[in-house]
């Protein structure tokens, strides 16, 4: 009896998480058997502390920040919550007029949800910055929002790159506009680091969120890079670790792996971006040729090199996703945090897309494991998959009518 060879899974959901790098796995596993709390004063504790500080220095160097500006967290979501709630409470304590938070409707839910929570529970006034059809915030809209009453603005939060459509945002320009009025700016750079150059000092922001598992590091660890002079009220209280900004025992093995992933992704970024851009463009051009009704979403030029976001008229994104998955091709309909929720993408709706287009979209995101064969496989299957999804949609319409 001949046993068929296992089919290779085509993984094109790197924006959700990217496979750990072998060097990061090695760094982490080599430390898992060691004992020592980084806050302890004995030899084992000091060794763990040394691992933490060496990781902090490596991550800071990769992002052009000072080591003291890197505050370890449990991931991007905690870092975003710390930034928004910490900035809000610190700014309000200094001046009770500072109740306006400026943000856009395309932010990740790790930013949107704590902002809405602050509005519902602590009286924050959310002011939604408009985006254009490419998913891009206009600096002039930020300027106008600030100019109407600078003294009432708590802070501005603008993501560095959109996690769904891949559009890059003018963060440096926004930071410069806000700095002229002494208003702090936070950016969620989770999707940007390792994909495009990210320089914390050059961006001019006051706080920046990063996450290890988007870079080839482990789950469960990230960082908020925050300027020393920026005041944050902590949202966790306990041992006073991390400058008394984020209490909690630090994970030395995960920090070491995070550092390896950050160093590698930043060092390889120029070459990897060029490689992924070529593969991404082949994927986009191939799909648009094979499926005439398909449309590209996001900025065709100013986008992440690994992102191909496409909408398919007449199809449900969830149906396309499952049909591709049955053929061993893994992608996404949008943010992994909202997977399985039968609602149109808030990002696409904010960009002005109608409900149907917002529901009929797929996100393909490439990464360090992506090969030419992966792109070829998608192009081999996308036509029949769309035809089947369209046929299923027509059959459902006939049943309803």
Could you give the residue numbers annotated as active site?
A: 337
- Tokens 């920026």 sit on residue: 230
d(CA 62, CA 38): 23
Q: Which helix (H) or strand (E) holds 347?
A: helix 346-350
| Residue 155 CA: distances (Å) to CA of 59, 105, 233, 349 | 25, 16, 14, 24
d(CA 27, CA 54): 13
d(CA 76, CA 222): 6
Report yes or no: 28 and 218 within 8 Å, Cβ to Cβ.
Answer: yes
Burial classification of residue 4, based on how many CB atoms lie within 10 Å of its CB (0-12 exposed, 13-18 middle, 19 or more buried)? exposed
| Residue 240 CA: distances (Å) to CA of 66, 81, 208, 250, 348 | 20, 18, 21, 11, 41
Q: Report residue 239: phi and psi, to 5°.
A: -85, -10
d(CA 314, CA 1): 44
Measured at the CA of 143, the angle between CA 140 and CA 145, to 5 degrees, comes to 110
> How many Cα neighbours within 13 Å face the side chain of 86?
26
Contacts within 8 Å (CB) and 24+ apart, 23-29? 23/260, 23/264, 24/216, 24/217, 24/218, 24/257, 24/258, 24/260, 24/261, 24/264, 25/257, 27/253, 27/256, 27/257, 27/259, 27/260, 28/218, 28/253, 28/254, 28/256, 28/257, 29/253
> How many Cα neighbours within 13 Å face the side chain of 155?
26
Cα torsion 188, 193, 199, 201 to 10°: value is: 40
DSSP strand E in 130-245: where? Answer: 153-157, 185-188, 207-211, 222-226
């Amino acid at each position: 009896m001949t046993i068929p060879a296992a089919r290779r899974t085509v993984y094109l959901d790197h924006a959700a998480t990217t496979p750990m790098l072998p060097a990061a796995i090695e760094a982490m596993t080599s430390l898992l058997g060691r004992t020592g709390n980084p806050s302890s004063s004995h030899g084992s504790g000091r060794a763990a502390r040394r691992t933490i500080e060496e990781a902090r220095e490596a991550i800071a160097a990769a992002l052009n920040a000072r080591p003291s500006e890197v505050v370890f967290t449990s991931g991007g979501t905690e870092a975003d919550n710390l930034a928004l709630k910490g900035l809000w409470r610190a700014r309000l304590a200094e001046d009770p007029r500072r109740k306006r938070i400026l943000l856009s409707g395309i932010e990740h839910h790790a930013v949107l949800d704590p902002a809405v929570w602050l509005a519902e529970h602590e009286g924050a006034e959310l002011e939604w910055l408009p985006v254009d059809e490419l998913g891009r915030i206009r600096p002039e809209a930020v300027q106008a929002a600030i100019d109407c009453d600078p003294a009432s603005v708590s802070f501005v939060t603008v993501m560095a790159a959109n996690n769904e459509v891949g559009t890059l945002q003018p963060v440096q320009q926004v930071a410069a506009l806000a700095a002229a009025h002494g208003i702090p700016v936070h950016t969620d750079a989770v999707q940007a680091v390792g994909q495009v150059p990210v320089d914390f000092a050059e961006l001019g922001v006051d706080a920046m969120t990063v996450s290890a598992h988007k870079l080839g590091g482990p789950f469960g660890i990230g960082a908020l890079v925050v300027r020393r002079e920026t005041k944050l009220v902590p949202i966790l209280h306990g041992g006073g670790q991390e400058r008394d900004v984020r209490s909690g025992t630090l994970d030395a093995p995960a920090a070491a792996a995070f550092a390896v992933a950050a160093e590698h992704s930043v060092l390889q970024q120029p070459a990897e971006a060029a490689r992924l851009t070529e593969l991404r463009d082949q994927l986009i051009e191939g799909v648009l040729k094979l499926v005439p009704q398909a449309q590209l979403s996001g900025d065709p030029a100013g986008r992440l090199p690994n992102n191909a976001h496409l909408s398919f008229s007449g199809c449900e994104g969830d149906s396309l996703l499952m049909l591709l998955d049955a053929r061993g091709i893994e992608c996404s309909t949008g943010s992994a945090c909202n997977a399985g929720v039968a609602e149109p993408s808030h990002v696409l709706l904010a960009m002005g897309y109608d409900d149907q287009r917002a529901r009929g979209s797929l996100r393909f995101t490439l990464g360090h494991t992506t090969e030419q064969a992966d792109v070829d496989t998608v192009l081999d299957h996308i036509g029949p998959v769309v035809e089947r999804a369209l046929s299923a949609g027509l059959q459902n319409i006939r049943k309803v009518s």
